[in-house]
């Protein structure tokens, strides 16, 4: 694993894929993993009616 010296909040590829695959398996259409979860939810709540 690559050390997280520049940004300790980054996800490894394995962590990202684990989070994304769980949401895909649940059938979710808008997927955010890690720090993007809150951002994606705000986007969905605000703009999903246009999508």
Q: What pLDDT band is residue 23 in, cutting at 50, 70 and 90?
A: very high
Domain ranges across the chain: 26-51
- Burial of 44 by CB count in 10 Å (0-12 exposed, 13-18 middle, 19+ buried)? middle
Is residue 31 predicted with pLDDT exceeding 90? Answer: no
Dump pLDDT digits (tens) for 6-17.
Answer: 888 888 899 999
Q: Can you list the positions of beta strands (E) in the chain?
A: none
Say which residues have a Cβ less than 8 Å from residue 9's Cβ, sequence separation at least 6: 34, 35
Task: Give pTM, 2 decimals.
Answer: 0.68
Q: What pLDDT band is residue 38 in, cutting at 50, 70 and 90?
A: very high
């Amino acid at each position: 694993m690559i050390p997280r010296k520049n940004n300790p909040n980054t996800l490894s590829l394995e962590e990202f894929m684990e989070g994304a695959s769980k949401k895909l398996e649940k059938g979710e259409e808008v997927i955010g993993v890690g720090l993007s979860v809150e951002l994606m939810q705000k986007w969905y709540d605000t703009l999903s009616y246009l999508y």
